[in-house]
């Protein structure tokens, strides 16, 4: 059930929408998302940090939506609007559904990877998307990962250190459009099995396409990735994943210090123990 205060915000942003069909989808720690099927999705900040971040994330989505990708991307329907301490925005509905964990067709993901890799880096994208670097005054991804190692239990330090070294052994690749949370519920397919659209570009960067490949593999399976990309990208994807787990990469690619270092370490340790 959607709380009444969220329904009021949705109605204010999308007048006339049938609220009886509304449902709630959690959006991590930053936002609630009120789904209005066939019409829109309304994102509502949960706390001040999410409210402050929303305008930047909306500009990022505008730039991606204007990049001419060959699949649907949510479009911004309303200005970012303030409701007390919250901010909210309505974005367009994308049909289809995500695939369950462990399910995927290489024939569908290959063209998706190609589209992202070949997307033109427009001035608008370059203005709003971060370019992660290995070393960047303490906030490069290699620096952050190396700083994490001493905080891990002793049994895991060598493994993660080897993972970082394996990544550093690869040459840098030209930065391309990287979604940053690809796979699972963010990639929608129609009933015909064809790609319908890609949601949630909050974590998008200009980086190594193998990061998206690792994220797809961690959800849909490495066999799916093997059939969807070339050997070099597969090897880099495996290296990204083997460092701290693909689902943790966004925290080290953001170009800023870890917001919750202890929580990050705990999550990585849980992943290491599960993957042992």
Which domain CATH number covers 130?
A: 3.90.1200.10
Q: For residue 39, tell me if it sits in a domain.
A: yes
| CA gap 268, 274 in Å, rounded | 10
| CA gap 161, 144 in Å, rounded | 12
Whether residues 112 and 52 fall in one domain: no
Q: Are 274 and 244 in contact (CB under 8 A)?
A: no
Whether residues 123 and 194 fall in one domain: yes
Q: For residue 97, tell me if it sits in a domain.
A: no
Instruction: Give 26's pLDDT tier (boundaries 50, 70, 90).
Output: low
Whether residues 85 and 162 fall in one domain: no
What per-residue confidence (pLDDT) applies to 154? 97
Domain tally, the chain: 2
Q: Would you state the torsion angle of the CA atoms of residues 254, 255, 261, 265, taken in this order, to the nearest 10 degrees?
A: 60
Whether residues 20 and 52 fall in one domain: yes
Q: For residue 100, tell me if it sits in a domain.
A: no
| pLDDT tens readout for residues 162-220 | 999 999 999 999 999 999 999 889 999 998 888 999 999 999 999 999 999 999 999 99
| pTM for the model | 0.95
Q: For residue 98, tell me if it sits in a domain.
A: no
- Residue 132 lies in domain: 106-275
Whether residues 124 and 243 fall in one domain: yes
Q: For residue 99, tell me if it sits in a domain.
A: no
| pLDDT tens readout for residues 53-66 | 999 999 999 999 99
Under 8 Å CB-to-CB from 256, ≥6 apart: which residues?
139
What per-residue confidence (pLDDT) applies to 30? 82
| pLDDT tens readout for residues 69-101 | 999 999 999 999 999 999 999 999 999 999 999
Q: For residue 157, tell me if it sits in a domain.
A: yes
DSSP secondary structure, 89-107, as one string: EEEE---SBPPPTT---HH
What per-residue confidence (pLDDT) applies to 276? 78
Does residue 28 register a pLDDT over 90? no
Whether residues 124 and 250 fall in one domain: yes
Under 8 Å CB-to-CB from 203, ≥6 apart: which residues?
179, 180, 181, 250, 254
């Amino acid at each position: 059930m959607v709380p009444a205060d969220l329904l009021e915000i949705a109605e204010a942003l999308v007048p006339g929408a049938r609220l009886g069909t509304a449902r709630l989808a959690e959006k991590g720690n930053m936002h609630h998302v009120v789904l209005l099927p066939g019409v829109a999705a309304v994102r509502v900040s949960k706390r001040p940090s999410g409210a402050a971040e929303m305008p930047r994330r909306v500009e990022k989505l505008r730039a991606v939506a204007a990049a001419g990708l060959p699949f649907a991307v949510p479009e911004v329907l309303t200005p970012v609007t303030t409701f007390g301490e919250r901010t909210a925005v309505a974005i367009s509905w994308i049909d289809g559904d995500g695939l369950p964990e462990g399910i995927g067709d290489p024939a569908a993901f290959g063209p998706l990877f190609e589209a992202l890799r070949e997307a033109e880096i427009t001035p608008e994208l370059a203005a709003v998307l971060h370019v992660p670097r290995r070393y960047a005054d303490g906030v490069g991804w290699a620096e952050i990962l190396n700083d994490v190692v001493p905080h891990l239990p002793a049994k895991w330090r060598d493994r993660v250190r080897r993972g970082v070294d394996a990544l550093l052994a690869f040459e840098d690749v030209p930065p391309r459009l990287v979604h940053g949370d690809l796979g699972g519920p963010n990639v929608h397919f129609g009933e015909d099995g064809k790609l319908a659209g890609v949601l949630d570009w909050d974590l998008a960067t200009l980086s190594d396409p193998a990061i998206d490949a690792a994220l797809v593999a961690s959800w849909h399976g490495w066999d799916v990735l093997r059939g969807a990309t070339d050997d070099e990208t597969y090897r880099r994807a495996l290296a990204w994943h083997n460092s701290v787990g693909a689902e943790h990469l966004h925290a080290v690619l953001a170009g800023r210090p870890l917001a919750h270092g202890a929580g990050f370490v705990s999550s990585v340790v849980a992943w290491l123990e599960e993957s042992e």
